[in-house]
Each structure stands twice: as structure tokens, then as C-alpha cells.
């Protein structure tokens, strides 16, 4: 990876208040290389341009960091539902190794890629589960078992809430990553959200780069 891309990503992290070490930069670089290598054999991502991987996958994922609780004596349990090629959960785990991370996806080939990447990066306290969300959420050690749940580009918000909110413990958050204008989806999902004992507390609009904006619907489970 050319030094300029690493430097640009490190600069982006610094501008967004994200502390990143040289070792973590190397982990991101290895992640990118493994992603593009596996993508020649299985369909993981339509984004294959080097710069866009760093911007639209890595930087995009890390915009969730300010919404997470800071370091604490209790390990933060985090589940990424429908994680695909590991976004946003795997980049978050690289920056926050203190988090106990679960990556959930229904396609076994993606799980094989994630397990290989995790092994190459040397990450600990991170697991990959091949299962559908509605099935896993019925199990006692997963239902109401997580402080944070997230999903990115998986489904409309009303459907996401039926899959994701059962994972979140009272007082925890569901962070739904959406496009720049999620208001129609939020209005559509409100009956489901209210019925499931949760509430929308905030819609954060996050600028990744000039002209590249997404939103995060922050839902609190009460």
C-alpha cells in the first residue's frame, strides 16, 4: 500500500479524534489486501478501488466510534448484524480492542473470509457466527445480551428493528447506519420501535468526506 494512502487515512482519523497506532494502520492495510484478494473468488464488495475501500468501508465504519461508550471496567458487548465483509464491526474492533465483538452473517463463505482475516490480524475476543438474526436472537446467551447492536446496508429500518432490537439489553443502543436522509424509514419504523419497547433518541448526520454523508439512527432500548 502506498504510504500516501496510509498517511491520508491516519490524517483522517486524527481529524476525527480517532487515535490510531502504526500497528492498527498495518492491520487495516492487511484487512484491505485480504478483502480484495478474497473478492476475486467470492462476492464480498462492489467497492474495489483502493481509495474507496479506505473511504467508503473503513472511514465509514469508524464514524460510529463517537457514539460508543468510552473505556470502562465492564467489557462492552457489540454485535454487527448482517456484517457482510465485516463492516462496521471489524474496523471498530481494530480501533477498540477492548470491545467484545460478534460478527453475524447468514452466508457461510463470508464467515470463512472473516475468520481468515481475524486470524491474519491477530485479533482477540471476536467471534463470527453463521446464522440468521431471527434465529440467533432466540438463544438465551444472545437475546438482550448486547450493549450495542449495529447493521449497515442490510434492510429497511422497520425490518432491521425486528431483527436487531431483540439483541439489545435495556439501556443499550441499536445504531442503524443509513443514507443521508432516513426520515421516511424512521417514520415507517416508529410503530415497530415503540411496540418493542425502544425509542429513537437521535439521528446523527456524519460527513465522511466532503459531499459523502451518511446518517445513524440511534435507538435506545428502554
Average pLDDT over residues 138-155: 92
Contact yes or no for 84/60 (Cβ under 8 A): no
Q: Which of 83, 16, 31, 91 is nearest to 61 (CA)?
A: 91
Question: Nearest-5° angle of CA 124, CA 165, CA 191?
Answer: 160
pLDDT reported for residue 149: 98
pLDDT tens digits, 95-130: 999 999 999 999 999 999 999 999 999 999 999 999
Average pLDDT over residues 205-215: 87
pLDDT reported for residue 72: 67
Q: pLDDT averaged over the chain?
A: 93
What does DSSP say about strands 168-178 and 212-221: parallel, antiparallel, or unpaired? antiparallel
Whose grid coordinates read 424512521?
186
pLDDT band at 154 (very low <50, low <70, confident <90, very high): confident
pLDDT tens digits, 58-104: 999 999 999 998 866 678 999 999 999 999 999 999 999 999 999 99
Contact yes or no for 46/84 (Cβ under 8 A): no
How many C-beta atoms lie closer than 10 Å to residue 56's C-beta? 18
Owning domain of residue 167: 3-221
The CATH number for 73's domain is: 3.40.50.150
Higher pLDDT, 159 or 210: 159
Domain count, the chain: 1
3-state secondary structure the chain: CCHHHHHHHHHHHHHCCCCCCHHHHHHHHHHHHHHHHHHCCCCCCCCCCHHHHHHHHHHHHHCCHHHCCCCCCCCCEEEEECCCCCCCHHHHHHHCCCCEEEEEECCHHHHHHHHHHHHHHCCCCEEEEECCHHHHCCCCCCCCCEEEEEEECCCCHHHHHHHHHHHEEEEEEEEEEECCCCHHHHHHHHHHHHHCCEEEEEEEEEEEECCEEEEEEEEEEC
pLDDT reported for residue 3: 52
Amino acid at each position: 500500500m502506498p504510504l500516501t494512502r496510509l498517511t491520508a487515512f491516519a490524517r483522517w482519523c486524527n481529524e476525527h479524534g480517532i487515535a490510531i497506532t502504526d500497528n492498527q494502520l498495518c492491520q487495516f492495510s492487511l484487512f484491505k489486501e485480504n478483502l480484495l484478494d478474497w473478492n476475486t473468488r467470492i462476492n464480498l464488495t462492489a467497492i474495489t478501488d483502493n481509495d474507496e475501500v479506505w473511504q467508503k468501508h473503513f472511514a465509514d465504519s469508524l464514524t460510529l466510534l463517537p457514539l460508543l461508550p468510552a473505556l470502562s471496567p465492564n467489557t462492552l458487548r457489540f454485535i454487527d448484524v448482517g456484517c457482510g465483509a465485516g463492516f462496521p464491526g471489524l474496523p471498530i474492533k481494530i480501533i477498540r480492542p477492548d470491545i467484545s465483538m460478534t460478527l453475524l452473517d447468514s452466508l457461510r463463505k463470508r464467515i470463512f473470509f472473516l475468520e481468515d482475516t481475524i486470524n491474519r490480524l491477530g485479533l482477540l475476543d471476536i467471534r463470527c457466527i453463521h446464522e440468521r438474526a431471527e434465529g440467533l436472537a432466540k438463544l438465551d446467551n444472545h437475546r438482550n445480551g448486547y450493549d450495542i447492536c449495529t447493521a449497515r446496508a442490510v434492510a429497511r429500518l422497520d425490518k432491521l428493528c425486528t431483527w436487531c432490537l431483540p439483541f439489545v439489553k435495556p439501556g443499550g443502543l441499536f445504531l442503524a447506519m443509513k443514507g443521508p436522509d432516513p426520515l421516511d424509514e424512521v417514520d415507517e419504523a416508529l410503530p415497530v420501535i415503540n411496540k418493542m419497547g425502544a425509542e429513537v433518541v437521535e439521528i446523527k448526520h456524519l460527513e465522511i468526506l466532503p459531499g459523502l454523508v451518511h446518517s445513524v439512527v440511534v435507538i435506545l432500548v428502554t
